[in-house]
Structure 1
């Protein structure tokens, strides 16, 4: 194997078409097909399935794709590190954010701080579900991700940040500062899909109490969820930071769920196998500092109130 063939293979899988990949790579399609054939011969495995609609990777191809992305990313990081030796940090740093996390409110301070300290570093922010973010961290598409994570994930190193309690958020009659889980089960709810950490925690709590959630809609987008809750058709369950953000922008209320109280651990996840670039390490330290300051400020406000 060589790096050029791996680069070709990754591009083919990303695009899903030999013809289009050849155009992007500025190489004749027969020559590109020959490179794939050589790679398959070297590994003694079929890597791609060719159909009229394009190409898809075989199981062996999926394994190679994951390793190839890691190898190419490490080579790129090595080249950048050597070129920038003794110079100011530069390059792109990619960060994943699960919707509704406490880190969402820190995006602007993060961008501003990075801009001030490392003007040649470009921060890329990607919002998606927690499971998707972990996968992207493992295959090298993201340098790090902030998400609610309750169980260890192979290939991921999790840095615990804080725990957030879950709140019921609605716009109809306010039940008070707290609400029993039994009462929550009697309300119409808008919740995320079942792969969400919030949804898993809610489903688990209902199951343990032998309750059933009355779900009238599954919504991932915070903007859409805000509109749905504001309509008064139903309530939702959110971590405290997301609940406060929604309440501050609408006429909604928030009530802490009790009997039992529910919480989720927020973590910063990085790859357990891939080294971070100097730029990524610098941005990670800034993000951790901002999160730490935010947590301390929240604690001081709680003591004052």
Structure 2
């Protein structure tokens, strides 16, 4: 198996065009077409469907694309392991953090710790939704992720680390129901809520809690941008629902109403995810251990205490 052909094939699929892939790879188009023909001859399958708009993988092509990504990732890890043998961990490590999660509190400490302890590790931090991140881990494009959920999911290993209560967060004197302390779910039926879209775990959990109580949330805005959410809550355009660990780093919680939701308590689970088929590289293992340290420090420092 010529890994150069696999690399070229992945680039063709990503680009959706042999011409564009040739430009990216700085290879003459006829030479790239020959590599593709050689792959199709080797597997005795048509791998791409050609049209005026470009190319698209066949069923066989999609299968090869998935395996090619894993193979190329393993080759990359092998090169990195040989290069750093006997030296401090070095290389690239990709970490996913779910938006509106404790990841907001961990991102900067993680980057700081990696820079201090492992200056030769290049840390790539990606904030995205759990489904996108899980797929990246399955295909080997991401080493690990801290996301909502506890599985099971084929191809991904979930390591549950925290369970967190959800809180109503609103501008004072605004969207939140009158009173102090915990707020009952039933009291939120008429509260205008700013929530992420339905593909996000927090939204699914909130919707599920309302449905179980035979209620319907009054969603006045679906916001995927953290910066927009911060501005909207501060401007009293609606309240939001977040775990305390996610709210504290992004919102001015000292000047906002923060009330735990009860009857029922709504909880989300956070897990550290890795591939169940690919071992972590040496630098990824170092970052994995740092993750655990930071989460332990976060818990012991009382950073999750709403009274702090």
With structure 2 as the length reference, what TM-score do the two structures score?
A: 0.93
In structure 2, C-alpha distance between the alignment counterparts of 1:61 and 1:274, rounded to whole Å: 22
Partners of 1:247 and 1:253 within 8 A in 2: no
- Could you say which residue in structure 2 is the equivalent of 1:112? 112
Instruction: Give ranges in structure 2 of 5+ residues lacking alignment.
Output: none
- Could you say which residue in structure 2 is the equivalent of 1:85? 85
- Could you say which residue in structure 1 is the equivalent of 2:53? 53
* CA apart distance, 1:45: 2.3
**Distance change >3 Å, CA 26–CA 241, structure 1 → 2:** same
Partners of 2:175 and 2:238 within 8 A in 1: no
Q: Tell me, yes or no, if structure 1 residue 253 matches structure 2 residue 289.
A: no
* CA apart distance, 1:300: 9.1
Cα RMSD (Å) of the superposition? 1.9
- Could you say which residue in structure 2 is the equivalent of 1:141? 141
- Could you say which residue in structure 1 is the equivalent of 2:126? 126
* CA apart distance, 1:251: 3.8
Instruction: Give ranges in structure 1 of 5+ residues lacking alignment.
Output: none
**Distance change >3 Å, CA 91–CA 246, structure 1 → 2:** closer
Q: Tell me, yes or no, if structure 1 residue 63 matches structure 2 residue 50.
A: no
Larger mean CA deviation between 135-144 and 45-54 belongs to 45-54
String of CA shifts for 1:181-214, please: whole Å, max 9, x gaps. Answer: 1121211111111111101111111111111111
**Distance change >3 Å, CA 246–CA 27, structure 1 → 2:** closer
In structure 1, C-alpha distance between the alignment counterparts of 2:276 and 2:94, rounded to whole Å: 16
SS in 1 for 2:153: coil
Q: Tell me, yes or no, if structure 1 residue 4 matches structure 2 residue 4.
A: yes
Larger mean CA deviation between 42-51 and 284-293 belongs to 42-51
In structure 2, C-alpha distance between the alignment counterparts of 1:32 and 1:134, rounded to whole Å: 31
String of CA shifts for 1:129-158, please: whole Å, max 9, x gaps. Answer: 111111111111110000111431111111
**Distance change >3 Å, CA 173–CA 228, structure 1 → 2:** closer
SS in 2 for 1:298: coil
Report how many residues are paired: 304
* CA apart distance, 1:54: 2.1
Q: Tell me, yes or no, if structure 1 residue 235 matches structure 2 residue 239.
A: yes
In structure 2, C-alpha distance between the alignment counterparts of 1:144 and 1:238, rounded to whole Å: 23
Partners of 2:192 and 2:238 within 8 A in 1: yes
- Could you say which residue in structure 1 is the equivalent of 2:222? 218
In structure 2, C-alpha distance between the alignment counterparts of 1:246 and 1:35, rounded to whole Å: 49
In structure 1, C-alpha distance between the alignment counterparts of 2:222 and 2:228, rounded to whole Å: 10
* CA apart distance, 1:101: 1.6
In structure 1, C-alpha distance between the alignment counterparts of 2:83 and 2:58, rounded to whole Å: 37
In structure 1, C-alpha distance between the alignment counterparts of 2:108 and 2:234, rounded to whole Å: 26
1:87-106 superposed matches below 5 A: 87-106=87-106
- Could you say which residue in structure 1 is the equivalent of 2:186? 182
- Could you say which residue in structure 1 is the equivalent of 2:295? 291
**Distance change >3 Å, CA 150–CA 281, structure 1 → 2:** closer
